Amino acid sequence: MYPLQHLSLGIVFSLIILFIFPQIGLIGFLIIILSTILIDIDHYIYYIYRKKDWSLKNAYNWSSNTGKKFFLFSKKQKDKFYTGFYFLHGVEIILVCLLLSIISKYFLFISLGFTFHLLLDIYFIGRYHNRVDRVSVIYDFLKFKKLKPL
């Protein structure tokens, strides 16, 4: 899913949360929106790791092209490759944020944004790539060790 889609749906989601729970205030509303987008920083970090290039534009283009190429693969081909390891995309990170919400309520807002983002990714990957990724960082790590990077 593209950043603009995450941003648009993140705004709608945050507005719904703000409407239901007005006590989160403007700060909570903004943190939820930002966390639905900024979780994807791990895509950029993965790009830097793989390509040794710091260009954000190149990272976006590479990620977009990789996703398009992967989309065209058959189910059998998709089972041989992965598009990247994204360490913030998993339930483990959400659980850490929930634990940290004991210290600060802002981590609860971050966990809401991350959860919404991951649910969108899981739906998108399941529907368009016919597989399940990005549910668990540990599961993906173990699964991807057996696959080739695209």
Taking only the tens of pLDDT, the chain with its 150 residues reads: 788 999 999 999 999 999 999 999 999 999 999 999 999 999 999 999 999 999 999 999 999 999 888 888 888 888 888 888 899 999 999 999 999 999 999 999 999 999 999 999 989 888 877 777 778 888 888 888 888 887
Supply the pLDDT for residue 141: 84
List Cβ neighbours of 12 (8 Å cut-off, separation of 6 or more).
none
What was the pLDDT predicted at 128?
A: 76
Range of the domain at 65: 3-149
Which pLDDT value is given to residue 47?
95
- The domain tally of the chain equals 1
Q: Is 26 exposed, middle or buried (0-12, 13-18, 19+ CB in 10 A)?
A: exposed
